[in-house]
Structure 1
Amino acid sequence: MPYRPAVRSLRLVSLIVAFMQLTACASGGGTVKQPSASVNGLYSQLDQASQGYEAALQQTRAGDTQGAQKTLDQSLDQLKNAAAHCGTTPGCDPQRFFSVFDRLLRLKDGSFIGDETPNEDAGASATVPQAGQPDGASLPEAQRSVTLLRGHQLSELIAVNGPVKAALEMWLTQWRSNLMDAYVNYQYLRQEMWPQYQDQGLPEALLFGIMAKESGGKVHAVSRSGAAGPLQFMYATGLRFGLSEQDGFDTRFDPAESARANAEYMNEQLKAFNDNLELTLAAYNGGEGRMRRLVGDDTSVSFYDPRIYGQMSQETRDYVPEVLAAAWLFLHPDSYNLHFPQIEGQLGSVTLKRAASISELTVCLGSANNMSEGWFRTLRNLNPRLDPQQEQPMGAVLQVPKPLEKIYDVRCVNGPWPILASDLHNAVVPVMPAPQPAAAAPDPVVHYTVRRGDTLASILRKHGSCSSENEVARMNNLKFDHVRAGQVLKLPSCR
C-alpha cells in the first residue's frame, strides 16, 4: 500500500465515482450485460447504505454525534444483509460490497465526520491535518484519541489488503483464543498502559495490536531471542528508552514503563519514517537500522514494495499485517462477528490479613467473578515485581482488580480455602540426589604392538588365555597367523 495521509473531508461524490469505477471494471470490456432486477435491487440497497454517510454528516453538523454513529451502524447492517444475498445471486459483484463495507467501517471510526464543511468541487485538493492537530472536533475526546495517530486517522493508515485480510482470518480462527486472552489481559493492564500511549498522542488500538502479537498480554513473557515483557523489548533497545535493572527487577516487565518506552519508540520511528506506520512496525520487529538502510530517503515507499518486502524476514512480513489486523479488530469487533467480553478493569488493592503468595491467592479466589481460567495471570501481571511462589507477609499490599477486594475478604482471610491453599503451597516434594554417572564400560579390546621375536602364541601367553589364535587372527585379518614387528594387534580384553 502506498502511504496515504488521512483527509479531513470525504464527499459523497467520491463514493459515487468509486461505484462507477467498480462497475466499469466489473464489465470487463466488450458488450455490457445488464444486471438482472434482483441484482439491481441489491445494488440499490448498496447505494442506500452508502447514502448513510450523507445523513450522518448532516447529523454531525447538527451536533448529534450519537445519532450519526447510529445511522452509520444501520447503514452497515443494511450493507451486511445485502452482501449476504449477493453471494447467492447470479451476476452480483461482491467486490462492490467489500469496498463500501471498508469505507463505512472507516466512517464509523469517526474518520470522516466531524467539523468538516463538504466541498462539492471534485477537483479541489483535500485538506491534510497537520501533525498534532485534532481532526473532527465535534467527536468526543475519547473517540478522537482512539482514532488519531500523529494527526492522521488510524483507520486511513490501515489498508485492509490481502496480507491484513489473511491475518484477520487467523485472529478470527486459529488465534481466536489468543486474541480473547490478550483482550482480557489488556483490560486489567489498561489503567497502567493506556495513559502512557495517550500522553504520547498514540491510538489505543495500536497499543493493543502490538501487545496482542508480542506477548498476548503476558507481562513476564520472554522470547527465545531474549526480548522481554508485555511489549517484548530487547535489552539494548530497552536501555535506550530507560528500561533497566532497578533493585534486581528488570523494568521491561513493568507494564507502565514498557508502554511508555514503546510509545516513545513508536513516535521516534514514525518521525523517522514520515508517519509511515507499516515501516515503523517493521522497524520495531526487524530493526530500525535495517529498515532505514532499505528505505533510504524514500519514506513514502510501501512496505509491500518488492524492494522492501523482498528483503524482510518472513517473521517481519507476517508481523506487520498481524499487528494491524489485531488493531483493526479492536476498533471493529462487531463488524467481524467478534464479541469481546465485558471486563470491569478498574484496579484496586488488598492488604494481606494473613501471609500468602500469589499462587495461594489464586487457589482461594478460584473462579470468582466468572473468571473460568482463574486469577493467576492477572495477579501476576498486576504485581510484576513479586515472585508468585514467594509468600508475602501479612500487611503487604497487592494490586488486584477492584471486584476482588471484597472477594478476598470473603474467601482468602478465614475459612477452608486459605488453609487448603497454604497446605498445597507448602507441600514437601522429596528431593532425590542427582544420579551418579555410570562407570564407563570397559573397552572390549586391548591393543598390543608386536615386538621382534613375538609370535601369536607367545603374545596370547603374555595376555592370558581368554582367546584363541584363530579368534585373534580373525579379528586382525591375519593370514597363516603371521605377525611382524611394529604391527598393532587387537586382542580381546580378559576383564
Structure 2
Amino acid sequence: MLQISRLALTLCIGGLTACAGVSSQSRPASTDQVDETAVNVLFARLDKDSQRFEAGLALARSGEVERAQTEIKAALDDLQANAELCGKLAGCDQARFFSAYDRLLRLDVDSPSLATDADDDIDVNAEDATVEVGEDSPVIASLPEMERTITLLNGRELADILTINDAVNAGIEKWLSQYRPNLMTTYVNYEFMRYRMWPEYHKAGLPEALLFGMLAKESNGRVHAVSRAGASGPLQFMYTTGLRFGLSAQDGFDQRFDPGMSARANAAYINEQLKVFNGNLELVIAAYNGGEGRVRRLAARGGSTSFWDPKIYSILPDETRDYVPMVLAASWLFLHPERYNLDFPKLDIRPGAIELQTPATLTELSVCFGNEGGLYDGWFRTLRNLNPALDPQKKLPSGTRLEVPMQLQMAYPGKCAGGQWANLAKNLSAATLAMHPVRQANASHAKIYTVRRGDNLASIARKNGCVKIRDIARVNNIRAPAYRIRAGQKLRIPSC
C-alpha cells in the first residue's frame, strides 16, 4: 500500500481541516458578490492538482520514486493552499476540495509502495489500523483497500471527517438533543441483544459502531419495527432484499425479525456493497437507505467516488442525505460518549434463560419483573426482542424456554414463578381479556377478497366493515406483527 509523505499528508489534512473549521461568522456572507472568474480559476487548479497527483502515482508505478514523491507533495501542497483560498472566497464550494482529497486518498490505496525516510520508523499494518478486526477478517483478506474504511469508524479518520464535515456534526447535535431519548433507548435495546448481533458483524470484519449506528437510525433497536413501506425488523429489510440475504419465513416466522439473522444479513449486504463501491463506506450507507441502483447511477453519472461531492449529495433525496451523517454520528457517539457529555447506562447484559414453571404471557412476565435491576422502562421490549417469534399476548405453557438477561433468570423464581407479583400479572391479564375478548370470526361464511397493489390488512378490514385485522390474519394464517400479504393473493374475509 502506498504511503505518501507524512509531511505532505499532514499539511494537506491540516489545511483542509482549517478551512472547514472556519466559523460561519468569518465566512463570506451569502449576499457577497461572487467573483465567478476567481472561483473558476480555483476549480481549474483543483483539477490540475488532481491530475498531477495521479501522474505522481504513475511515476511511482514505473519506479521513479523520488520524482513521484516530489510531484505528489507539490500537488497536495497546492491543494491545501487552494482549499484555504476557497474558504475565504464567496461562492466557492469547499465540498469539491474535500471530495477531491477523499478521491485522491482512495487512489492511493491501489498503488505500490512509495515510502520515504520519514516513514521508515512507522509500522503501518492492519493490526495498528483497526480495532477488533481479526487477522482472519474476510474483508481484510479480500479487500485490502477496506483497511481505511474500517478504521473510519474506529480511529482517527472519522475524527478528521467530523472536523471537516458539518453534516456529521449536525447529526451529533440531533442525537444529543431532540433524539437523545431515541439514542439511549437504542443503546439499552442493543446491549441486551448484543450477544445475538455483534458476533455476526465480528465474523464479517465490520466495526460494531457501524451496526449500532444503523440500528439507531433504522429502528431504535426495536426488533418488531415495521415501516409503512413494509421494511421490517431491527435493520429494516424489505421482503425481497431479505430473501436475497437469507431471510425467509420459517414455520410462519419472518426471519427479518430475528436480531442475529438480521445482523448477519446486514453485514453481508454491507460487504457486498463495499466491493461495488470500492470501499466507500458513505456510499454504501447511502445505498442501504436509498437503493444501491440509484446510488450507483448517480456515482457513475457524476464521475465521483465521494458521497459528499455535490454532484452526488445534492441529487440524493433528503432522507438519504440525512441518513448517512446520522448513522455516522451515532456510530461515533457509540465509540466516544465521554467526549460529548454522554453517559450510557451500565447494564448487566449477561445472557440467560428461564423455563416457565407456570403458564404466562410475555406481557405478564414484564409486569411481574417490574423494574428489576433498576431498568427504568421495564422489560417488555427486551423480552420481545430476545423472543421475537412469540406473540406477547399468547399464553405460553409450562416448560416453555425463553431467552432472558441473566438478572431476570435469577429473579424469576421469586417474582414470576408464583407469589404476589405473578398473581397481579395474571389478574391484570384476565381483566384485559375481559375487556377485549377474543373474537370468534365466522370462517364458514367467509367471502374471498383478492389483494390489490397497495393493500394491507388494515385497509382490507376497513373495506369490509366490522371485521378486524386479527380475524382476517387468523383465518388466513397470516403472522403478526408484519401481516405480510402480496398483490394477487386470495384472502378469506370472515363475516362479522
TM-score range, shorter chain: 0.5 to 0.7
2:430 counterpart letter in structure 1? N
Give the Cα–Cα distance (whole angstroms) in 1 for the partners of residues 200 and 275 of structure 2.
18
Q: Within 5 Å, which residues of 2 pair with 1:25-36?
A: none
Q: Does residue 211 in structure 1 map to residue 215 in structure 2?
A: yes
Conserved 8 A contact 1:347-1:402: yes
Letter in 2 for 1:168: I
2:432 corresponds to 1:429: no
1:416-455 mapped onto 2 (5 Å cutoff): 416-427=420-431, 428-429=434-435
The 5 Å alignment of 1:100-179 reads: 121=117, 133-136=126-129, 150-152=146-148, 153-154=151-152, 155=155, 158=158, 159-160=161-162, 161-179=165-183
Local SS of the residue matching 1:360: helix
Q: Report 1:317-336 matches (<5 A).
A: 317-336=321-340
Alignment map for 1:15-414 (pairs within 5 Å): 18=14, 22=18, 121=117, 133-136=126-129, 150-152=146-148, 153-154=151-152, 155=155, 158=158, 159-160=161-162, 161-296=165-300, 301-414=305-418
Distance 1:235 1:14, change over 3 A: same
Q: Deviations over 1:436-462 (max 9, x none)?
A: 99xxxxxxxxxxxxxxxxxxxxxxxxx
Offset, 1:134: 3.7
Rounded to whole Å, the distance in 2 between the matches of 1:335 and 1:222 is: 33
* Corresponding position of 1:477: none
Q: Are 1:219 and 1:255, in contact at CA under 8 Å, matched by a contact in 2?
A: yes
Amino acid aligned to 1:135: D
Alpha-carbon distance between aligned partners in 1 of 2:353 and 2:226, rounded to the nearest angstrom: 27
After superposition, the C-alpha distances for 1:420-450 in whole angstroms (9 at most, x for unaligned) are 111111220166999x99xxxxxxxxxxxxx
Q: Which deviates more from structure 2 when the two are superposed, residues 420-429 or residues 322-331?
A: 420-429
Q: Which amino acid aligns with 2:180?
A: R
Identity of aligned residues (%): 51
> Once the 2 structures are TM-superposed, how far is the Cα of residue 419 of structure 1 from its aligned partner?
1.0
For the Cα contact (< 8 Å) 1:11–1:120, is it kept in 2? no
C-alpha root-mean-square deviation of aligned residues, in Å? 3.8
Sort the Cα spacing of 1:17 and 1:369 in 2 relative to 1 into closer, same or farther, 3 A. Answer: closer
Q: Give the letter for the 2:193 counterpart.
A: L
Aligned-partner residue type, residue 304 of structure 1: W
Q: 1:21 to 1:352 in 2, by over 3 A?
A: closer
Tell me if the contact between 1:346 and 1:402 (Cα under 8 Å) persists in the aligned partners: yes
- Cα deviation, residue 221, structure 1: 0.2
CA displacement, residues 366-404 of structure 1 (integer Å, 9 cap, x when unaligned) = 001001111000000000000000011000000000111
TM-score (norm: length of structure 2): 0.61
Amino acid at match of 1:342: K
Q: 1:209 to 1:170 in 2, by over 3 A?
A: same
CA distance in 1, matches of 2:405, 2:5: 42
How far is 1:296 from its partner? 1.8
**Which structure: greater helix fraction?**
2
Encode CA deviations 1:129-155: one digit per residue, 9 max, x unaligned. 6xxx44358x7778999x999322124
Contact 2:221 2:234 in 1 (8 A): yes
Asked if 2 retains the 8 angstrom alpha-carbon contact of 1:8 and 1:128, the reply is no
Give, in angstroms, the shift of residue 14 of structure 1: 3.2
Alignment partner of 1:348: what SS?
A: strand
Find the residue that maps to 2:435 and give its secondary structure: coil
Cα offsets for 1:55-75 (capped at 9, x unmatched): xxxxxxxxxxxxxxxxxxxxx
Preserved CA contact (<8 Å) 2:302 2:312:
no
Shift of 1:157: 5.3
Local SS of the residue matching 2:404: strand
Q: For the residues of structure 2 that align with 1:361 and 1:249, how far apart are their CA atoms? A: 22
* Preserved contact between residue 193 and residue 256 of structure 1 (Cα < 8 Å): yes
Is 1:205–1:327's contact at 8 Å kept on the other side of the alignment?
A: yes
Once residues 184 and 136 of structure 2 are traced to their aligned partners in structure 1, the CA distance between those partners, rounded to angstroms, is 25
The gaps in structure 1 that reach 5 residues or longer are 29-118, 438-495
> Residues 286 and 295 of structure 2 are in contact (CA less than 8 Å); yes or no, is this contact kept in structure 1?
yes
User: In structure 2, what residue type is equivalent to 1:200?
Assistant: A
What is the identity, as a one-letter code, of the residue corresponding to 2:345?
P
Aligned partner of residue 220 in structure 1, secondary structure: coil
* Amino acid in structure 2 at the alignment position of 1:412: C
Q: Report the Cα offset of residue 127 of structure 1.
A: 8.8
**Take 1:162 and 1:265, find their aligned partners in 2: how far apart are those partners?**
28
Shift of 1:17: 9.1
Read off the aligned partner of 1:276 and give its amino acid letter. N
Aligned partners of 1:6 and 1:128 also within 8 Å: no
The 1:410/1:8 distance shift into structure 2, 3 A limit, reads: farther
Change beyond 3 A, Cα 1:141–1:322? closer
One-letter code aligned to 1:429: M
Cα distance change of structure 1 residues 215 and 430 upon mapping to structure 2, 3 Å threshold: closer
- Change in CA separation of 1:390 and 1:140 when aligned onto 2, cut-off 3 Å: closer
Q: Tell me which residue corresponds to 1:108.
A: none
Amino acid paired to 1:240 = R
- Distance between the aligned counterparts of 1:371 and 1:267, measured in 2? 36
- CA gap 1:151/1:141 in 2 versus in 1, 3 angstroms: closer
Counterpart residue identity of residue 228, structure 1? S
Write the distance in 1 (CA, Å) between the matches of 2:254 and 2:303.
35
Give the unaligned 5+ runs of structure 2: 27-114, 441-460, 466-496
With over 3 angstroms needed to count, the CA separation of the structure-2 counterparts of 1:16 and 1:299, relative to structure 1, is closer
- In structure 2, relative to structure 1, the CA distance for the partners of 1:233 and 1:335 (3 Å cut) is same
Counterpart CA distance in 1 for 2:336 and 2:363 is 36
Q: Distance in 2 between matches of 1:347 and 1:291?
A: 39
The range that moved more, 219-228 or 305-314, is 305-314
Q: Does 1:14 align with 2:10?
A: yes
Q: Distance in 1 between matches of 2:249 and 2:288?
A: 22
C-alpha contact (below 8 Å) 1:367/1:375 kept by paired residues = yes
